[in-house]
Chains A and B, each alone.
Chain A
Amino acid sequence: MGTVSGSRDAHTVLLDPTWDRALPAGSDVHILGSGVIAITGNNAVQRALAHPDLVADHPLKASARGFGPNVLDCDGPRHRAFRALLAPVLAAGRIAEYRRALMPTLVDDLVGNLLGTTTDDFHDVYAHRLPYGIVAGVLGVDPALRDRFHELTRPLSLLLDYPTVETELTRHNIALLLDLIDIERGHHRLPPESLLATIERTRERKGLDLTDGEIRSTALLFFLAGTETSSAFITALIYCLGREGVELSALRNPAVRADLIEEVLRLYPPVRTIVRFARTDLSVAERAIPRHSAVVISIAAANRDPRLFSEPDQFRPGRPERGSIPFSVGSHGCPGAALAKSEFDLLLDRLSQRCRRVDLKRDSGRLESQSFARPADFCVEFVPPV
């Protein structure tokens, strides 16, 4: 098992979103410090994510304290009950309907605003508009409240990140958002196909034993996960279009778009690191992991495993290798993957129709965040047709 040497403790190592790149090659399992173990190889990562005794539940997780019992922080039957609430809203038929009725206006508005624009702050100014619009629509939130939801939700992403930031502001925002969700739930014009209406019906129909508080927390986490991960990925997508000088007209072909999205997801998965806890003594990749250990699992490293991907750091859309896991795997795999991909595809489609190219004017090469990872501190220009 590889051991991180020197005086750097686990906390210091994990402060860098690209911490996995600093670990010694030749091992998939690394001791980062007392009780903290990192897993990096693709096969070991997939085994760890599917391991029944590596659990998401931990008494001191800030997200569990902040949101209360919720889909991210539980396992087993309780977790399956939470997932069952979300399944109907994320079914293929629903996604097709969102793509037909909800997404086009939002995408067209965003692309229209981008044309001719040069921005140093794509993530904060533009990237959130599409995912927040979509998820607010899916949730059934009044469109007039979308900006308010964004303002309140973005700081909460720090509760799911590392290092975790839990402040009076995050506690205040959670309370306000849960109140807003309650108000929307009680709204007599709640669309019947909305997430809020659907989860109420699903709870009744399936007899799921979930409290009102758990329903509200699930809705709030759906909002947070569905917006901030997509905002981060759209930022990475635009960054790569600029950095790689992608000919946008080629993206009018759906297969080319799909390949490009897969490759950016491989290189820039929004969730780079997932933390699990050893419920008992166990082993992964034939390495012993003592009970109570925190196990930090690197999706980012799995997606750049040189045993699976030739020249793994190279941007190569359409590469033949399989095994990229940007949405994780196992029981906690992202339930919104198909919705997210549809959203990214439509954005690229519309960009390819209306924009000539994206120029990267400045690039710091910096990456921010572990849970909502994206390139940071860069400047792009959206060049309109001649």
Chain B
Amino acid sequence: MGSKSNALRMWISDLHHEPLTVGDDTDLIQSGLITSLQFVAMVIEIERLHGERLEPEVIGAESMRTLGAIDSNVFHGA
């Protein structure tokens, strides 16, 4: 996991009042950590961290379901 994924992990944690652990394999959708509106905000945050425009085919429930998937599909370990 690179620094961008860890920054995203912090961003997700900050959405919640209670302290929580966001694992690399935690299903962000199924666990309820990310609502549909927050998913939209998360895509914008990922793009900001990535520093490049995300292509539409990258934005999907499967490619962004876990931090691990986002790291692999978007950040490529950066």
Contacts and interface: CB of A to CB of B under 8 A. Distances in A.
Max count, chain A CB within 10 A of own CB: residue among B29, B35, B36, B61: B36
Contacts, number: 48
Interface in B24-68: 29, 35-41, 43-45, 47, 53-54, 56, 59-61, 64
Interface of B is mostly: helix
A293 B59 contact: no
Given A11-B35, A60-B29, A294 B61 contact: no
Given A11-B35, A60-B29, A65-B61, A36 B40 contact: yes
B44 A292 contact: yes
B60 to A, nearest CB: 4
Max count, chain A CB within 10 A of own CB: residue among B43, B54, B59, B60: B43
Contacts of A317: none
Max count, chain B CB within 10 A of own CB: residue among A58, A62, A163, A290: A58
A215 to B, nearest CB: 23
A195 B45 CA distance: 44
A36 B37 contact: yes
Size bracket, chain B contacts = 10 to 19
A292 B40 contact: yes
A323 to B, nearest CB: 29
B15 to A, nearest CB: 9
Nearest to A57: B56
B44 A35 contact: yes
A60 B36 contact: yes
Contacts of A62: 36
18 contacts: A11-B35, A11-B37, A33-B37, A33-B41, A34-B45, A35-B40, A35-B44, A60-B29, A60-B39, A65-B61, A163-B35, A292-B40, A292-B44, A292-B47, A292-B54, A293-B44, A294-B37, A294-B40
Interface of B: 29, 35-41, 43-45, 47, 53-54, 56, 59-61, 64
Given A60-B61, A292-B47, A293-B40, 18 more contacts: A11-B35, A14-B37, A33-B37, A33-B41, A34-B45, A36-B37, A36-B40, A59-B61, A59-B64, A61-B36, A62-B36, A163-B35, A164-B36, A290-B44, A291-B53, A292-B40, A292-B44, A294-B40
